[in-house]
Amino acid sequence: MKGKWHWNKIALVVGLYAAALHAIWAIVVALGVGQAYLDWILPLHFISNMYTVLSFNVLTALFLVVMAFIGGYIATLLFIWLWKIIKVKKG
């Protein structure tokens, strides 16, 4: 179907993308280089680092990834819903 949006597929892709980014962060923390990364990247953005990376916890990492997926999925659904409301029909 040309021109038809598959809203569920779009939301799944964005949710998976958000989950993947957070999974990468969890891996960085598990490898023990999370603090070094923050100490390097934040000053590049003119931000002083006042954060400390906690020790890795598998359950916390799993919760992080799941919540990132859910948040990305729901945010995409809200965006699509708002887009449909404000979309101007071409005629």
pLDDT value at residue 91: 53
What does the pLDDT read at residue 88?
A: 64
Instruction: Show the beta-strand stretches assigned E in the chain.
Output: none
Question: Which residue matches tokens 């003119």?
Answer: 46
Q: Quote the crossing angle between the two packed helices 58-86 and 7-30, to the nearest 10°.
A: 150
The Cα–Cα gap between 15 and 47 comes to 28
Q: Under 8 Å CB-to-CB from 61, ≥6 apart: which residues?
A: 23, 26, 29, 30
pLDDT tier at 87, thresholds 50, 70, 90: confident
Residue 25 has pLDDT above 60, yes or no: yes
* More confident call, 31 vs 81: 31
For the cut 90, the answer to whether the pLDDT of residue 84 exceeds it is no
**Angle subtended at Cα 38 by Cα 33 and Cα 39, rounded to the nearest 5 degrees:** 95
Q: Residues 35-83: pLDDT tens digits?
A: 999 999 999 999 999 999 999 999 999 999 999 999 999 999 999 999 8
